[in-house]
Amino acid sequence: MARAPLIALIISWSTMLATWPLLAFNFREVALPGIIVTVLALPAMPFIMAGTLLAAVVGLVSTTVGQGGLAG
């Protein structure tokens, strides 16, 4: 069980290192807290992706509902 957070940290760190040169070149800055934030956000990702998929499917039927236009 203790390996999962370590694996998530390694994955986040490796993606940060892989994209760091592009971020630094294009945006002239690199957010170092992004690694920690990514690890903390990983448990929510399946729900975020499911919500995005649902909005995309609903958006095919009704753009107003797909964009959340009936909320107010």
Residue 72 is assigned to a structural domain of this protein: no
In a domain, 48, yes or no: yes
Q: Measure CA of the first residue to CA of the last residue in the chain; give whole Å.
A: 43
**Over 60: is that where the pLDDT of 72 sits?**
no
Number of structural domains (the chain) is 1
3-state secondary structure 45-68: HHHHHHHHHHHHHHHHHCHHHHCC
Domain membership of residue 19 as a residue range: 3-66
State pLDDT tens for residues 8-61. 778 877 887 888 888 889 988 877 787 677 777 878 888 989 988 988 888 888
16 C-beta neighbours (distance < 10 Å), count:
16
